[in-house]
Structure 1
Amino acid sequence: MSEMYKKEVPLYGDLIDLVSDVNTETLAQQPEIRQQLEHSGELTRLNMERHGAIRLGTAAELSMMRRLFAVMGMHPVGYYDLAPAGVPVHSTAFRAIETESLNRSPFRVFTSLLRLDLIADEQLRQEARAALDQRQIFTDNVIDLIERFEQQGGLTKDESQQFVKEALETFRWHDNTPVSKTLYQSLLAQHGLIADVVGFKGPHINHLTPRTLDIDTVQARMQGKGIAPKAIIEGPPKRDCPILLRQTSFKALEEAVSFQNAEGGYDTGHHSARFGEIEQRGVALTPKGRALYDKLLNQAREQLGGTPNEHNAAKYYQLLDSAFEAFPDDYQTLHDEGLAYFYYRAVDDGVDMSTAISDLDTSASQTETAKQAIADLIEQGAVRIDPIVYEDFLPVSAAGIFQSNLHDEKQSDYQGPSNQQEFEQALGAAVYDELALYQRLQSQSLELCLLALDSKA
């Protein structure tokens, strides 16, 4: 997919080169970051890490997409309703859910389902639904292979190679559209994302995203590479100990397309939707940490009194920095105050830990006695904590990326309740709770850590 996207969007290759250069410099200049990535097993996956984004139009497309990603061990994690932020979709992220699987295959696809119910114009809504009902975004061969995987519990090597070839066709860019220019422009007037979903033969990859260790440097250097960045880095401010997710991108390309007309030919036009995105990932936050993050982010945005953009960027960054002074910026405090998730690692330093270990019961590791015993082990150097990287997304940030790259920085007003139940019905499965997954990873690491210490006691 990466190679296909580089051919479709050559600027993406330039972005990959820039991010790779910045990562190499950062690792050389900050050995503590290299050590942290080595401890967590992330160093080997850094330069191959990607997330992509696609947009689907119907429940049937979403259900089959879930089955397609299941072949690759990717599962729906999290529910995101972007309508309150002015984008008429709700979404999930397909990814692996175990640490070993993530380190081996660190790929995510943020997958959005268009909410046709949010189109106020009844006639336009019916025309959009009719256009979507006429398309088939999956090849017959990939559907056969998905069914074979489900029946056999796997695919042979030859079948797997054929699956990759066939699956790629779903995500390929097609510049001949199945809709008229008139319908496309009506959809565009409603929202750029609606036109992007309904107006094309399938869910072309809108962006692939490399992971950087220093997003501020990448943002600063993009201009010098002839890449025009968006005005605002979405997410939390720059910190010594990164949290959650920060994102930026280059603005959407204007690409030539041909619209089907009544005479059986095509009318020329253009479309803007595909762009290049970069991300910097930090530690995953607990419910307590996430509540504090949301509170401080909302505080900065309310004080700004509008949507962050190129005209108020400096003021917004100032407000954001000020608000987040209330968020601790060292890993030990984040751990001690229960704001973030961490891996626990046993350190072989020859200290007798038998007394401390006897106070611990991994099944009750959240009791005050257990927490104090863990704190003592960390203080004495028998246990090291490493941040668990945040693997998921932020609705406000995702909406900001979408809007800026669809040339739609105005705030659309979509009234309608969030509907996770409807989304999961279309998906054909419940989404995983991302916070529960992080808690499980932390608990598993603590259990393994204590077993390792107990064997030395």
Structure 2
Amino acid sequence: MSVHAAANREAWVHPDEIRVQFSRAMSALYKAEVPLYGELLALVGQVNQQALEQDAELAERLQLTGEIQRLDLERHGAIRLGCAAELATIRRLFAVMGMFPVGYYDLSCAGVPVHSTAFRAIHEGSLQHSPFRVFTSLLRLELIENPALRELAASVLEGRRIFTPRAIELIERCEQAGGLEQAEAAEFIEQALETFRWHREATVSAALYQQLSEQHRLIADVVAFKGPHINHLTPRTLDIDAVQAGMLRRGIDPKAIIEGPPARRCPILLRQTSFKALHEPVVFVEDNGDRTLGSHSARFGEIEQRGAALTAKGRALYDRLLDNARQAGEAYVPVLIAQFAEFPDDYASLRRQQLAYFRYFVSPAGLAAKARGELASDLEALLAAGHLCCEPLVYEDFLPVSAAGIFQSNLGDAGRNSYGHSANQDVFERDLGAAVYDELALYAETQQRSLAQCAEQLGLAELLGD
């Protein structure tokens, strides 16, 4: 590397820092556009503070893992794109911020005509710096049954440009140079925000909007506007049941039920709730150039509580129990609670039964035992002696059923109840221009890295997890 290139590299803003700044800018934008989101942030902050004050063990655990530092930064957004070119470019835009596509989600089987991925950081160090994620969906035009309407929607999408020319230039600059300097990074954030901004003026007539909406309200949300306005930002709470109750006390209209597993002593995966979509005024552009006033509902407020990342074995158990509850045909919540009694609700059992991923840490007792030459070399013995401790890895991703439930509750029941099983990851990755990361492999790598770090600290050849 030349001296000039090395100097340039030192001037680059780290992608993690660009992500932090973008996340804050996005939050400010959404708070200005949807004031109720600001009230939601205040409620979540209050609930989190109470949870930490009332549960010293929880506070200590979050301090040990570093989760407490990222709690106020924790949020995800969601957008819906209309065509392959938009998906491929958004991948490049997020890469500037150190965010990569993780997982493939087919929501069509739940009656939502999209398939999706989550853009996020993929290394635990970057996640600690900023866990910001964007759940990104691509409209599946082939699921529009009416051929004429399908072609019309494709034509509308083909004519729109959701990225500013300067944003494209800065993406290319980052790709060619290897990074962005401070002024470029600040400009990139400003330009990238334009893609996610709300546009009150639709790009279609009221009649076409109605046709699209009758197919599915999400189709109208994607096709009828200038860009993929951010439709929600989601803060992380430590007690989602308290937030659900708090919304009702504040006069905020929440979903009827919390999506995901039931409340547990040891949370797993992801639980989500939201306040219902806002009815917002929009202007439709008629064929003769006239403007017609109307309304649109898409943007809402969501809250999440994250738990332990489950292994493939744990996910299989989770899926079976959830499916049993959904098939029961009785009162859903009591059946769900009864079904999940089978799922171990203590971290020791989750680890021993290989149901969840964990991160391992050397304890002060372990360092002292090393100094005395009294260390065991076996993982289980080290844990039993208190020379190592472990905490579950936080689930960083999403649940298809929960995502679909949130979508349906906020877009209404218009459209088909189900598009059948039509997952097509190959086509999605072709449109994306890259393969998606396997989230289970990422968790396994994080777990193994923590074991390797412990082995190095203790002077052991290796430590192997299950």
Q: TM-score range with shorter-chain normalisation?
A: over 0.9
**Structure 1 residue aligned with 2:320:** 295
Counterparts of 2:286 and 2:339, CA distance in 1: 53
Counterparts of 1:382 and 1:390, CA distance in 2: 26
Is 1:100 paired with 2:125?
yes
**Structure 2 residue aligned with 1:125:** 150
Deviates more, 1:233-242 or 1:262-271: 262-271
Alpha carbons of structure 1 residues 226 and 410: separation in structure 2 relative to 1, 3 Å: farther
Deviation at 1:347, TM superposition (A): 1.1
Deviation at 1:408, TM superposition (A): 2.0
What letter is aligned with 1:339?
L
Q: 2:180 aligned to 147, 152, 155, which one?
A: 155
**Could you tell me the percent identity over the aligned residues?**
60
What letter is aligned with 1:114?
L
Calculate the TM-score normalised by the size of structure 2.
0.91
What letter is aligned with 2:276?
K
**Structure 1 residue aligned with 2:259:** 234
Q: 2:387 aligned to 376, 382, 394, which one?
A: 382
**Structure 2 residue aligned with 1:114:** 139
Q: Any idea what SS the aligned residue of 2:364 has?
A: coil
Q: 1:174 aligned to 199, 203, 227, which one?
A: 199
Alpha carbons of structure 1 residues 421 and 348: separation in structure 2 relative to 1, 3 Å: same
What letter is aligned with 1:136?
R
Deviation at 1:166, TM superposition (A): 0.3
Per-residue CA deviation, residues 344-374 of structure 1 (Å, 9 max, x unaligned), is 111121335967654xxxxxxxxxxxxxx31
**Structure 2 residue aligned with 1:414:** 419
Deviation at 1:390, TM superposition (A): 0.1
Deviation at 1:176, TM superposition (A): 0.4
Counterparts of 1:118 and 1:407, CA distance in 2: 18
Q: 1:401 aligned to 403, 406, 423, which one?
A: 406
The residue correspondences of 1:4-403 to structure 2 (distance < 5 A) are 4-304=29-329, 315-349=331-365, 350-351=368-369, 357-358=376-377, 373-403=378-408
Deviation at 1:241, TM superposition (A): 0.2
Q: Is the CA contact (8 Å cut-off) linking 2:313 and 2:354 kept in structure 1?
A: yes
Counterparts of 2:392 and 2:414, CA distance in 1: 34
What letter is aligned with 2:360?
Y
What letter is aligned with 2:424?
N
Deviates more, 1:217-226 or 1:414-423: 414-423
Per-residue CA deviation, residues 266-319 of structure 1 (Å, 9 max, x unaligned), is 1111000100000000000000000000000000000026xxxxxxxxx21100
Counterparts of 2:319 and 2:259, CA distance in 1: 13
**Structure 2 residue aligned with 1:445:** 450
Deviation at 1:265, TM superposition (A): 2.3
Q: Any idea what SS the aligned residue of 2:369 has?
A: coil
Q: Any idea what SS the aligned residue of 2:137 has?
A: strand
Counterparts of 2:217 and 2:374, CA distance in 1: 63
Q: Is the CA contact (8 Å cut-off) linking 1:118 and 1:416 kept in structure 2?
A: no
Deviates more, 1:400-409 or 1:190-199: 400-409
Gaps of 5+ in 2: 1-25, 462-466
Deviation at 1:375, TM superposition (A): 1.6
Q: Is the CA contact (8 Å cut-off) linking 2:214 and 2:414 kept in structure 1?
A: no
Counterparts of 2:179 and 2:91, CA distance in 1: 16
Deviates more, 1:17-26 or 1:415-424: 415-424
Counterparts of 2:172 and 2:244, CA distance in 1: 44
Q: Any idea what SS the aligned residue of 1:279 has?
A: strand
Calculate the TM-score normalised by the size of structure 1.
0.93
Q: Is the CA contact (8 Å cut-off) linking 1:131 and 1:198 kept in structure 2?
A: yes
Alpha carbons of structure 1 residues 151 and 275: separation in structure 2 relative to 1, 3 Å: same
Gaps of 5+ in 1: 306-314, 359-372
Q: Is the CA contact (8 Å cut-off) linking 2:99 and 2:119 kept in structure 1?
A: yes
Q: Is the CA contact (8 Å cut-off) linking 1:354 and 1:454 kept in structure 2?
A: no
What letter is aligned with 1:404?
S
Deviation at 1:454, TM superposition (A): 2.3
Q: Any idea what SS the aligned residue of 2:72 has?
A: helix
Counterparts of 2:160 and 2:129, CA distance in 1: 34
Counterparts of 1:443 and 1:103, CA distance in 2: 17
**Structure 1 residue aligned with 2:431:** 426
Q: Is the CA contact (8 Å cut-off) linking 1:85 and 1:411 kept in structure 2?
A: no
Figure out how many residues of one structure are paired with residues of the other and give that number: 434
Q: Is the CA contact (8 Å cut-off) linking 2:265 and 2:346 kept in structure 1?
A: yes
Q: Is the CA contact (8 Å cut-off) linking 1:6 and 1:13 kept in structure 2?
A: yes
Alpha carbons of structure 1 residues 196 and 34: separation in structure 2 relative to 1, 3 Å: same
Deviation at 1:119, TM superposition (A): 0.7
Q: Any idea what SS the aligned residue of 1:79 has?
A: strand
Deviates more, 1:344-353 or 1:79-88: 344-353
What letter is aligned with 1:88?
P
Q: Any idea what SS the aligned residue of 1:344 has?
A: strand
Counterparts of 2:238 and 2:380, CA distance in 1: 29
